[in-house]
Amino acid sequence: MYFPIGWPKYLSLPQQNPSSPVYVVSNRDRSLFAVLTTNSLCLWFCKPCVQILSFRRSENSVAEFGVNQKGEWRPDSSMIAITTSKGYILFYKLELDDSVGNHQCIYVQKDGRQSAPRRSAGDMFSGEGIPALKLTQLSYILVQDGVISLLCIRDELLLTTCTGVLQRIRWDGGSNGRMSVSVGTIPFSTDLQFSRASTVQDTSIVITHIKYSPLLMGFAVVLSSGQAAFLTVTTLKFEPHQIQGVWAQELTNATCVAINHKYRLMAFGCKNAEGVVYSIEETTGSLLVSHHLKISSKDYPDASHVVGAVSGMKWSPDGCALAMAWDQGGFALWSVFGALLYCSLGGDYGLSENAFQHHSLHIQSMEWGAEGYHLWIVSSPTSTLCTSSQKEDDHSSYGDLMQIQLVKSALTVNPCMTNHEHLFLQGEEKLYLNTAQNIWQSSGSVMKSSPPRSVTRQASQCLGFLSGSKQWQVITVPQTYLSGNWPIRYAAVDSSGQCMAVAGKYGLAHYALFNRRWKLFGNETQEKDMVVSGGLTWWRDFICLACYNVVDQRDEIRLYPQTSKLDNAFATVTKVPSQILLLNTFQDVLIILCTDCHVMIFTLNRKNTQPNATVEISKLQEVAVASFIPHPASVAAITLTSLRTETVSSKSRSLPSEAESILMNVSGRLLMFQRDRSAVVSKHKDGKQKPFPFHAPVMVASSVENVWCTPRTNSSKRHLLEALWLSCGAHGMKVWLPLFPRDEVSTHGFMSKRIMLPFRVDIYPLAVLFEDAVILGACNDAVSCDLATSAGSTNIVPHLTLERNSQIYLHHILRQLLRRNLGFHALEIARCCTDLPYFSHCLELLLHEVLDEEATSKEPIPDPLLPRVVAFIQEFPEFLHTIVHCARKTEVALWHYLFSTAGNPRDLFEECMLSGKLDTAASYLIILQNLETPLLSRQYATQLLDASLDHNEWELARDLVRFLKAIDPSEAETPPNVPPLTRATSSVSKYPGGTYCTPPVTPEEGDSNAFVFGPTPVRTRNVSGTPKDAIKTKLKATRSDPASVGKRNSPSKDESSADQFFIDILLARHARKLLTSYRLKDLGCFAANLEGYHLVTWLRKERLRAARVDDFVSALKQIHIDFHWPLPIYSLNGRMGGSGLVSSPLLDPGLLDGLTTSEGLTAGASKDGLSPTRLIGSLSLSDTSDSLSRHTRDVMLQPQISKDDVISQTVTEASDTSSAVGDNVSMDQSTSMEATELDQLSHELANKGPPQSEVQLRYFFQMMMEAECLEWALIISVVLRDSMGIIRTVNTASFTDTQIEIVGRMREGVSYLERWAETECFGYKPFFNAIRSQIQTLNRIVEQNPLRSRLSLSRSRSCSLEKEDLNDTNGQGNYESETIQDEQKVNYPSEIQEEEKTGYDCAIS
């Protein structure tokens, strides 16, 4: 609840002969601090932190009485007593200095709101200015036996001597010898009822440390023997014969003690660097261990051997935090029941050797500041930032007195905030808010009151904490209010997180985020006449608070509207008989707790009166709880709730929930008062029925720090909203969960209606998101910063930062329910949370924790939980994903235990294939690669590769190709080396069908994220990630890891060539499938994502087979669909709609500019995975082999291509004609546009598709021309309505040795396209009219070339090309028989074998 923040403040002591401070102690209201040095006494004011006076003792006084050691304030702050090293007690009187003007103030606040500081008569140091004080020494007394410890009890001082005597001394210096008692005369026992008391026989034992608690009616003491005890008395007189001691059992190394009055706890520090906290058992009076304070190895390894014994302990003013310091340096903050809030060990203090020595804070004394916003620390000189030489040069730059600033949760003093779902912290002058709605606010703009309406509350909140918004809304309280009302005592935020209210010493102020304005009292007198004493909260748009009226001297309940001015004229006031300690609201009901131990319940009714709304407050009920609580100050929180021990069916609850119970946190014990609905109640005079009385309380839980419940209702998540969430410090969290019966009619009478489930958390909870199954907290860390000193050196000063953290708790609840065989209820809760975006992660956490606990257990588990967890996860579609991701994040040695329950990974892989979950199947391939032989892994990878190609999963296909290439053929039959299971269980069954040898293998060091695709598995934990990223990482590790490569036997050239040949056949088969189905865009994505796939080379080989086009109309339609290219619209003026594209270069500069802004890029690139940059960079237009065609060359698209480049890229011989056309077009582009041409341009733009598609189509056109696939080039030119492309294609067919079949199909295809355009798509008619001359050229080519001669020519040429293709596969001529034998060995699919035999026939069909 308390978190250090910012820089530590170092306070120097300006003296002529400085000496190190040794002790610090504050007065009762913590406004003045006395800092003792060895020879002086300095008084400091709290806010602003300035020194008021310094009293220096003379050298003779120091020589006579000794140096200062400890001090103690009188309760009215009028005197200070100081003990010395020679057994003296010096008494100093403190009073106002009348010689100083400004109303006896050395500093006066000037803010324009008051004329002079006002000082109350009861406390002369409680004024608004800094008082001018003077200090005089009154008297001294000598304690012959020496003083060890000093304590103030009302009007007397209690001191312990070196002879073991408890002596009482009055403030006037007189001794009360009759009330003195020796330790040897006090009877000690283990309890106050049954055990026999005995005295301490060793006369050398003395009391070394003592603390007093008025609420506990006794003293907590530490003896010199290391034992600890609690001294209790029966009356307030503390007579010696009434004192009786109770031992703190099993404690023999105690060093110090601190008492928590509110929670009735005693914390003892020990020599082993730990702390032990005891509570008092109410019936017998014995001391029971509540919890231990121990730094875990996760927070700081081996802390007990580094920091030494506990040197001091101090509870915060509200009792919600404990500061603990060690002898060897360092301190920690703990919550009231032992949760670690902060530890100074392990911070970032630089890399120097003496960094820890300089920053470990060897604390001699510490004291909490006002409201716990500061921690004053006196440290030894070895822990300061400056060395001794620096101190001699500049002793005033740093001192041994320092202040640590802290912020605390509003729950510490205002527990009514537990029904909100925001992180809200308060500092001395700032508020820190972190809410989910903050992500909807734009930085620098006015804050809105709510998220957009299109986003629901749950969605916006879920997105809020998922987005990682750890930025705090820091709201500074105006100095106008703080100047006279520091410190902030109470703070509250409304349910929307938009309105905040604070209350300080007097009055209150509130702030609205939506307009960024504070509202203060316009009348300062009204502000000073009210003191908020019992907290404040928001009810709708009203501020509800409990206050004390200074003028009328009475306690009141007030409600101020948020929309009106802050004035008593708009307030609703209700008197109460006694002081209010706590208040809270539940829907339209207000509950308060008074000092007379009475609980009052009021109803609130909003009245929409004009001009300002008002509230009608009516007293509903009053309950006396004096017999159930030891003291009203022991009540930490009170609230109303609709929860009951018996759950109600959903049918019987249609209206909003009523207040059924009172929850009261009494010193950490949660009491529940339920209404007695069986009682007979009377009616009021107005005829209304009186409310039902309450039963005697039942204790729900113990060690409770905070309680969360919500009045909201949601039928879909009743379990989470009707549960009670408890924070229990070191014991973690607990949830009181409702169990709704299956059958509303017949239920088991013995079955409980609610169940308490404990679970551990890694953060300190400050808020609970009920419907999102998330808890929110805060943490801080120390970062170093270089600080230059005046001496010229550089020191490292730690800076403490504050961050928000969160944790999911759903899997903890599911695990506890499954452990108790309540799987039906666990299934109900899980099903209502399936809409959460991290639900699959919850299932993974559930499985991982159970697997890690059971598989690594050293003892056999009679009733394992893993089978129930696996059966539970099988109820959800995330089962396959959860199993494989959990396996990837655990060690390989635990996989056998996991899959013995979850099933054979081969069966799970097949199930993923059947359900189309290819990414999940890729993850299972990693598992199989480590558990199966490489031969089977290759078989499964081939199957997955085929499926990924069919489903257009290009990135996965690329990674699988790399995976297949990385498999060593020489180790195809080698079984994997899997480390043995470390779990000591008698029998672990293998999963069906799996037989694996598990020789002991020493784990290797390496990257925890890498899984090498080979026979040697990596036995390290893995982090979460996508399957495709995992495969990519592993393949990179395989190629780049020389160690793993060196371990393999170098494979033979024949085996590696066979594998490569098989992969090429598989990819070629899929490429044929895409091309024959006219899926040109998928073919481009296929080639772009497969590394080293030469698409142009393959197209050239397939130009007479797969690349032939039999149906030009279907191919053109498919291109329009795949590339989102609209069909042209017929223009009324009869002009060609695409003439402007004739002269456009292959990649126009404007075309590239449109790629980043057009919608086509986003739609096409993200969906199909084919971006222009990826296509340009990945597709290889030519092969590097010199045996390929002389026309093949590398073609890379450039931002702009000149006219000469366009001409040079054309493979036709008629360069003059092409250049002439291009020149004419360039001249047309350079002319200015007229009005009619603008209309034509708009028409052309309407007929064009996305810029990205145009880039891809033009690139495909260039590739088809390179590969001599003129049919496809012709179709693409028609789609683009590019007459220049038609000219290039026809010229290529005319002036090169092109097969007559291709030209014939081109002519026939164009005729079909013309016929289709005349009947179905009139927009293409102008374009076909424009290219009529090129169509006639095709007809002339076919008529002039006899079929027979062209057939013989093409046959011989095709055969020569096929020979080149076969020689290109590693140059092996008689490879067919060896390949077939190898295929039979690896069980290649029969259709692939058939493809290999028939796919490269030279004959033309």
DSSP codes of every residue in 1179-1193: ---S-S-TTS-TT--
pLDDT at 215 over 50: yes
pLDDT given for residue 498 in this prediction: 92
Ranked by mean pLDDT, the top range of 153-157, 841-845, 1019-1023 is 841-845
CA distance 2 to 766: 11
- CA-derived radius of gyration, the chain: 42
Task: Tabulate helix, strand, coil % of the chain (nearest 5).
Answer: 35, 25, 40
pLDDT at 1225 over 80: no
Q: Mean pLDDT, to the nearest integer, of 455-462?
A: 44
Taking the CA of residue 829 as centre, how many other CA atoms within 13 Å lie in the half-sphere pointing to its CB?
31
pLDDT given for residue 725 in this prediction: 95
pLDDT given for residue 653 in this prediction: 44
Confidence of residue 4 (pLDDT cuts 50, 70, 90): very high
Q: Over the range 441-456, which residues count as b (16 or more CB within 10 Å of their CB) and which as e?
A: beeeeebeeebeeeee
The answer to whether the beta carbons of residues 891 and 1021 sit under 8 Å apart is: yes
Q: Mean pLDDT, to the nearest integer, of 260-272?
A: 96
pLDDT given for residue 16 in this prediction: 67
Mean pLDDT of the chain: 78
pLDDT, tens digit, 9 for 90 and up, residues 668-684? 999 999 998 887 777 76
CA distance 889 to 912: 19
Pairing of strands 430-434, 265-270: unpaired
pLDDT given for residue 388 in this prediction: 40
Q: Mean pLDDT, to the nearest integer, of 47-72?
A: 93
CA angle 471, 561, 438 (to 5 degrees): 15
- 956 phi-psi bin (left φ>0, alpha ψ -120 to 50, beta other): alpha
CA distance 1266 to 1273: 10
Confidence of residue 742 (pLDDT cuts 50, 70, 90): confident
Confidence of residue 618 (pLDDT cuts 50, 70, 90): very high
pLDDT given for residue 575 in this prediction: 96
The answer to whether the beta carbons of residues 934 and 967 sit under 8 Å apart is: yes
| Range from 358-362, 708-712, 973-977 carrying the lowest mean pLDDT | 358-362
pLDDT, tens digit, 9 for 90 and up, residues 135-160? 999 999 999 889 999 999 888 999 99
Tell me the backbone φ, ψ of residue 931, rounded to 5 degrees.
-110, -25
Tokens of 1102: 């397939």
CA distances to 272, 292, 351, 383, 559 from 307, rounded to whole Å, are 9, 17, 19, 13, 51
Tokens of 1235: 């009005």
Q: Over the range 154-192, which residues count as b (16 or more CB within 10 Å of their CB) and which as e?
A: eebbbbbbebbbbbbbebeeeeeeebbbbbeebebbbbb
| Range from 841-855, 971-985, 1129-1143 carrying the lowest mean pLDDT | 1129-1143
Tell me the backbone φ, ψ of residue 503, rounded to 5 degrees.
-135, 130
Helix runs in 91-130, H state only: 101-104
Nearest to 55 by CA among 71, 38, 73, 42: 42
pLDDT, tens digit, 9 for 90 and up, residues 1100-1130? 999 888 889 999 999 999 999 999 999 988 7
| Range from 66-70, 682-686, 1208-1212, 1291-1295 carrying the lowest mean pLDDT | 1208-1212
pLDDT at 573 over 60: yes
pLDDT, tens digit, 9 for 90 and up, residues 923-932? 999 999 988 8
Confidence of residue 241 (pLDDT cuts 50, 70, 90): confident
Confidence of residue 354 (pLDDT cuts 50, 70, 90): low
Tokens of 476: 């500074």
Torsion of Cα atoms, 552 then 553 then 556 then 558, to 10°: 50
pLDDT, tens digit, 9 for 90 and up, residues 403-417? 999 999 999 999 987
pLDDT at 1011 over 90: no
CA distance 1365 to 971: 30
The answer to whether the beta carbons of residues 1352 and 1156 sit under 8 Å apart is: no
pLDDT, tens digit, 9 for 90 and up, residues 788-828? 554 444 456 678 889 999 999 999 999 999 999 999 999 99
Confidence of residue 712 (pLDDT cuts 50, 70, 90): confident
Q: Could you give the percent of the chain with pLDDT greater than 70? A: 72
pLDDT at 604 over 80: yes
Tell me the residue length of the chain: 1405
611 prior amide bond cis, ω within 30:
yes
pLDDT given for residue 211 in this prediction: 95
CA distance 22 to 379: 8
pLDDT, tens digit, 9 for 90 and up, residues 1312-1346? 999 999 999 888 998 999 999 999 999 888 888 75
CA distance 895 to 887: 6
Cα 441 to the center of its chain, rounded Å: 20
Ranked by mean pLDDT, the top range of 757-771, 1082-1096, 1183-1197 is 757-771
Pick 745 or 492 by higher pLDDT.
492
Tell me the backbone φ, ψ of residue 22, rounded to 5 degrees.
-125, -20
Q: Starting at the earlier edge strand, list the strands of the sheet with 754-759.
A: 706-708, 724-727, 733-738, 754-759
CA distance 1380 to 1367: 17
pLDDT given for residue 65 in this prediction: 95
pLDDT at 375 over 60: yes
Q: Could you give the percent of the chain with pLDDT greater than 90? A: 53
**Coil, strand or helix: which one is 390?**
helix
pLDDT at 23 over 70: yes
pLDDT given for residue 828 in this prediction: 94
Please count the other Cβ atoms lying within 10 Å of the Cβ belonging to residue 136: 10
Tokens of 292: 């231990």
Nearest to 671 by CA among 695, 626, 708, 701: 701
pLDDT at 1219 over 70: no
Please count the other Cβ atoms lying within 10 Å of the Cβ belonging to residue 1242: 9
**Coil, strand or helix: which one is 216?**
coil
Torsion of Cα atoms, 569 then 573 then 575 then 581, to 10°: -120
Confidence of residue 1239 (pLDDT cuts 50, 70, 90): low
CA distance 1218 to 1295: 13
Helix runs in 1000-1052, H state only: 1027-1040, 1042-1047
**Coil, strand or helix: which one is 1003?**
coil
